[in-house]
Amino acid sequence: MKLHDEDAVLTADRRRVERDVVVEADPDKVWEALTDEDRLEEWLAPDVELDPVEGGELSVRDDDGERHGTVETVEEGERLAFTWKRPEQGPSLVEFTIEAVPAGTRVVVVETSLVPGETFAPTASANWGAALPRLRRSLLLVFA
Amino acid sequence: MRAPAHRHVDPVFAALGDPTRRRVVEALSRGGTATASGLAAQLPISRQAVAKHLAALRGAELVSSKRVGRETHYRLRPQPLTEAAHWIQMVGAEWDDRLEALRRTLEKGRR
């Protein structure tokens, strides 16, 4: 599934959030926690139905309501991706990637908004540090 | 190489993506209104490059433009950034919570 427009000069990227965590557990245990409904209910949401195959359905319920979606990618032990959306909101793509690291397993999650016309995403930019403090002061002036 | 962790980046800046585009927005935020030429004079990029970024920013409704004589004047519209920043902040916080719960459930019973 294409997430980023090719002509990036004239269009901005999708809204995108990335987070990660390293857990002290083996990748196969982590994979199980990502794909087994009972395990998913321990951390993703109180109520989860998931058919962990490409095209499978996802149903999630939490305090804020329900989300429904479809499994996009299953690469056993490595990647799981699904779309989900609340009835009143636009869809997102959620992608999990797991990899073994010395301390256990790193889990990376990326949620990308799929709403057409929405913009802005952090790109893999090397030099965040230098530009940020100066820009922060300027934009704080704008938003104040 | 993975992109750097965005956990501690202020979501307003996370919303801006391209570093050159951020500089254009920064320059706009300093001055009220500006022309492409005026912005290019403040930045180490060509007027053409500035114009491309302004077109993208206008497409994203981050800037508004107005013809004044033969020139086009641009002004920053912060609202879409604020909305994007809000989304990034909220969704980021949700995932922080879930990943922490994932960690707890996987590390239960260890040590």
pLDDT per position as a tens digit, B80-104:
777 777 888 899 999 999 999 999 9
| CB contacts, 8 Å: B16 with chain A | 120, 135
A107 to B30: CB separation less than 8 angstroms, yes or no? no
Dump pLDDT digits (tens) for A26-62.
Answer: 999 999 999 999 999 999 999 999 999 999 999 999 9
Contact of B34 with A142, CB cutoff 8 Å: no
Dump pLDDT digits (tens) for A110-140.
Answer: 999 887 655 544 333 323 333 444 444 444 4
pTM strictly above 0.90: no
Q: Which residues, 6 or more positions from A19, have their beta carbon under 8 angstroms from its beta carbon?
A: A108, A109, B5, B6, B7, B92, B95, B96, B99
Q: Is the dihedral of CA A116, A118, A122, A124 positive or negative?
A: positive
Q: Give dist(CA A82, CA A54) in Å, integer.
A: 9
| CB contacts, 8 Å: A20 with chain B | 5, 99
- Considering only CB atoms, B105 lies closest to which of A33, A111, A118, namely A33
| CB contacts, 8 Å: B25 with chain A | 135, 139
Encoded tokens for B77: 């519209």
Give the per-residue pLDDT at A40: 98
| Chain centre to alpha carbon of residue A11 | 21
B99 to A19: CB separation less than 8 angstroms, yes or no? yes
Q: Give whole-number Cα distances, A2 to A71, A72, A112, A114, in Å.
A: 15, 12, 11, 10
- Considering only CB atoms, A134 lies closest to which of B17, B26, B103, namely B26
Task: Give how far B35 is from chain A: nearest CA, Å.
Answer: 18
Q: Which of A137, A138, A10, A15 is nearest to B11 (CA)?
A: A15
For A129, nearest residue in chain B (alpha carbons):
B9
Q: Give dist(CA A65, CA A45) in Å, integer.
A: 10
B26 to A139: CB separation less than 8 angstroms, yes or no? yes
Give the per-residue pLDDT at B20: 85
Q: pLDDT class for B49, splitting at 50, 70, 90?
A: very high
Task: Give how far B101 is from chain A: nearest CA, Å.
Answer: 5
Contact of A108 with A89, CB cutoff 8 Å: no
Task: Give how far A26 is from chain B: nearest CA, Å.
Answer: 9
| Chain centre to alpha carbon of residue B105 | 35
A62 strand-pairing partners: A65
Give the per-residue pLDDT at B17: 66
Q: Give dist(CA A68, CA A90) in Å, integer.
A: 11
A122 to B29: CB separation less than 8 angstroms, yes or no? no
Phi, psi of A113 (to 5 degrees): -70, 135
ipTM: 0.76
Question: Among residues 49-88 of chain A, which lie with CB inside 8 Å of chain B?
Answer: none
DSSP state of B3: P
Give the per-residue pLDDT at B22: 81
A109 to B23: CB separation less than 8 angstroms, yes or no? no
User: Does A124 reach chain B within 8 Å, measured CB to CB?
Assistant: yes
Give the per-residue pLDDT at A118: 56
